[in-house]
Amino acid sequence: MAARKLSTILELLASGIAAATILALLVIGLGSSALGLIQRPTARHQTGTPSSGATATPTASPTPSPTPTPPTPLVYLTAHGNPHLHEIALTFDDGPAQGYTEAVLGVLKQFHIHATFFMLGIWVQTYPNLAREVVADGHAIGDHTWNHPDLTRLSPDQARQQIIDARNTIQKVTGITPTLFRPPYGSYNRPILDIAHSLKLSTILWNVDPRDWSRPGVGAITNNILTFTQNGSIILMHDGGGDRSQTVAALTTVIETLLARGFTFVTIPEMLRHLPPAPITQQP
Ligand SMILES: [Zn+2]
């Protein structure tokens, strides 16, 4: 179920080509035009700041005030965030999955950081409580299709239905309408991107790929991430699709080391809000 086939651009990325050369391709619809996209209930967002535990948050007010979430811009396609900001995003694909999703959530909670989970509709339907737990912990979620086909091998109608079925199930189960989409295997073409965009979904790829799905070993996963992560990196990992114990085992060292390097962990919606103004504003 994991990414066994990568498009050329992603293989380039995985082999360490500077992320800046693979710029985000087309960023459109930035700003208030995407106002209607925010579906996240305010109450959930307030849980994002840890209010208990060892780490005191001096600015935290005892009563959560309803801070409106700024709109998430609709982005046509990107594989990274703002290269001028010392922030990165962890992403987890192919879940939710029994055992591994909870383990990932446990590590993230330990460090008080938030990630983004690209879920399959079929697993959200199968494990609704896990999907809700991800949301309740303050993480962002996205649409990774219903059951992980290579969308470029489907008809446009079938591809659209894959995305819609997952979106609807995620919405029904979690109350969140996804604004993010990640194509299985990173496999896409212009019609796929247009379909996602027409559904008000930003297509999100990655630029750090430790190939954790192939179970290369905890050390290999850790080293790959620590070698290639830089400002604005989107890191691809998997909580579903198979035995993800290596991913879970690598996570603590990865997070500790990147925190020590001064990186801030953000969700993909946060990362999109921090993108510089779009250099390209027309949609070809
Ligand atoms: Zn996947």
pLDDT at site 235? 98
Residue ranges of the chain with per-residue pLDDT less than 70: 1-67, 278-284
Rounded to the nearest whole angstrom, what is the distance from the C-alpha of residue 273 to the centroid of ligand 1?
24
Ligand 1 centre to CA of 93 (Å) is: 5
DSSP E strands, 11-163: 77-78, 87-95, 116-119, 140-143
**Distance from Cα 94 to the centre of ligand 1, integer Å:** 5
pLDDT of residue 19: 37
| CA-based torsion, 190, 191, 197, 202: positive or negative | negative
CA of 56 to the centre of ligand 1 (A): 37
**Is 93 one of the annotated active-site residues of the chain?**
yes
Q: How many Å lie between the centroid of ligand 1 and the Cα of residue 242?
A: 11
pLDDT per residue over 74-91, tens digit each? Answer: 999 999 999 999 999 999
Catalytic residue among 114, 144, 148, 238: 238
Distance 184 CA to ligand 1 centre (A): 5
Name the active-site residue from 80, 93, 94, 212: 93
What is the distance between the alpha carbons of residues 263 and 257, in angstroms, rounded to a whole number? Answer: 9
CB atoms inside a 10 Å sphere around CB 233: 24
**Which pLDDT score is estimated for 8?**
36
What pLDDT sits at residue 130? 98
pTM of structure: 0.77
Q: CB burial class (10 A; 0-12, 13-18, 19+) of residue 201?
A: buried
What is the percent of the chain with per-residue pLDDT over 70, rounded to a whole number?
A: 74
pLDDT of residue 46: 35
Q: Please, what sign has the CA dihedral across residues 87, 88, 89, 90?
A: negative
State yes or no: is 238 an active-site residue: yes
Distance in angstroms (rounded) separating the CA atoms of residues 215 and 211: 7
